[in-house]
Chains A and B, each alone.
Chain A
């Protein structure tokens, strides 16, 4: 069956990409100029045992062992969930540090992307269907928002809605005096803290979906099957959604991978502007503090999550397109 083959190909591709990212992650500290291990160890002076010094050295490529055996050790650690020791959160493990931040990011990006995708796609459908109506005014506006970098929108919304109007908190993920948990107070605090970051991501990314969908709609609207649907006397909404939009959606979904890359990149900056406790902000801090192990770990996690998200999107694609194109 072609669908199984398609999925198999995609899974194989993501597996290779994951391997490439993991290997890149191994090679980067070993190939870059300078000696990250020395930088790290100079901060630890006198605080750590010899075993820990060795561990850090091994992780960052200072070792007598051959590259190959280092690589095996690296894989071995990885498969045990061991990403090493964080420098800035010493003696915290990298995996623990990431584990605390990752859910903030997943929820923030996940919800914001979903909202932006659904709203952008619907608006794109309408903009194409009602071409020449007032909806056309959406195009230049959203185009402008998509053109400016995320951090700029983040800063503007921070100063307007956060500082001037004081509607939403401007920093952090929740009121610091609260205990993290499922209490109503905590959740409502977390929600109000996430409004501005989420808004930033939605405003910045919605135009991509809107314009992509509108363009594809204009293409499908001129297809014969849409004309046939109209000739059959179907209701206008059914023609628009079931025929034109349903087909226009497919190429837009297959362009998801690239868009997600942009969104994730933008979210990192957005989190930093709002000091949001996700892994984007963690990555930023890790770089500032020369926390190489944490930096590497976050890169790896982000990449693997992006791959997973793409795989999920591919699964949806299989369900939506009975033909399944070969090109990845």
Chain B
């Protein structure tokens, strides 16, 4: 997915703006705001979906394979289930998996990324190595293998597995940002007066990493939804609860794609696609934030900054590199 650009910039520590400003900046970007809005409406759907669902999604016996009508707004499946109800109930499962996975993954990312960035030295080497290992190992095969052992456990183990395979990205971003924060004056001051590391990390550092933590959370959230959809679609997810992927799984199993029962597979696909699109939009916003040169207004400021740095370097040692 569209994560290439973000990764490319992830190794550079962020700019020198105060964190509060950056947090606002994410929402100031039109793309990011649209993404957050789309995503927010799905969160709402997840909360109220099961209550407004017209029917039990598993209840069979209705008219079979009916195209949308007043009775069944999104038609019915091959066994006469109401597609709209499956979508509405499914929204909650998808969101729950996403939320739980994102919570665990973010906790791991903060723990590992911030610790690595703050402690430096060997701890950093080891934790960065761990992070990079998890970044390189392809996530879905590992997820599939792990869920292979956890079949029929419901959605919760799946969420845990996704968080285990999905924390590294956020940890890498957080480490880079922590590294740059670590050398700010107020952190140095706290260290100079002998504050304990854990206090500095929790009180001084983590609040200032807010923007990155939040965008990392959103990223993992949506990534988890997409992964769950893939797993369920493959029939490797939990088949006892409804999710969008599950609906697609049954649709494919019943050859809906070859018989043209579009009302069965288009709605869940569209939901997943919209969630995915919101991820991309948020990702764009974050990208512009982390790579200021992409936004034209900041380009000049960067140049000035660089010139100053170059001058300083030259004055120091007629610097190579």
Which chain B residues lie closer than 8 Å to A261 at the CB level?
135-139
- Chain B, interface residues (CB within 8 Å), range: 35 or more
B239–chain A nearest beta-carbon distance, Å: 12
- Asked if A87 is at the interface of the complex by the 8 Å CB criterion, the answer is no
B199–chain A nearest beta-carbon distance, Å: 29
- Asked if A328 is at the interface of the complex by the 8 Å CB criterion, the answer is yes
Q: Within the assembled complex, what's the spacing in Å between the Cα atoms of A268 and B233?
A: 12
Which chain B residues lie closer than 8 Å to A16 at the CB level?
129, 133
- Asked if A229 is at the interface of the complex by the 8 Å CB criterion, the answer is no
- Determine if B257 and A163 form an interchain contact, defined as CB atoms under 8 angstroms apart: yes
Q: Which 10 A-B pairs have the closest CB atoms?
A: A265-B140, A147-B276, A212-B4, A32-B149, A148-B273, A251-B8, A212-B5, A208-B4, A147-B277, A287-B148
A326–chain B nearest beta-carbon distance, Å: 10
Interface residues of B (CB under 8 A from A): 1-5, 7-9, 11, 129, 132-133, 135-142, 144-150, 169, 226, 229-230, 233-236, 248, 252, 257-258, 260, 265, 269, 272-273, 276-277, 279-280, 284, 287, 291, 293-294, 299, 303, 321
- Determine if A152 and B269 form an interchain contact, defined as CB atoms under 8 angstroms apart: yes
B183–chain A nearest beta-carbon distance, Å: 17
Which chain B residues lie closer than 8 Å to A21 at the CB level?
133, 137
Q: Within the assembled complex, what's the spacing in Å between the Cα atoms of A20 and B132?
A: 11
- Determine if B272 and A148 form an interchain contact, defined as CB atoms under 8 angstroms apart: yes
User: With A146-B1, A211-B2, A328-B132 in contact, is A252–B148 under 8 Å at CB?
Assistant: no
Which chain A residues lie closer than 8 Å to B142 at the CB level?
24, 299, 303
Q: Within the assembled complex, what's the spacing in Å between the Cα atoms of A146 and B135?
A: 19
Q: Within the assembled complex, what's the spacing in Å between the Cα atoms of A155 and B132?
A: 33
- Asked if A295 is at the interface of the complex by the 8 Å CB criterion, the answer is yes
- Asked if A100 is at the interface of the complex by the 8 Å CB criterion, the answer is no
Q: Within the assembled complex, what's the spacing in Å between the Cα atoms of A288 and B253?
A: 14
User: With A13-B132, A34-B149, A159-B257 in contact, is A208–B1 under 8 Å at CB?
Assistant: yes
- Determine if A299 and B141 form an interchain contact, defined as CB atoms under 8 angstroms apart: yes
- Asked if A307 is at the interface of the complex by the 8 Å CB criterion, the answer is yes
Which chain A residues lie closer than 8 Å to B7 at the CB level?
255, 258-259
- Asked if A194 is at the interface of the complex by the 8 Å CB criterion, the answer is no
Which chain B residues lie closer than 8 Å to A72 at the CB level?
none
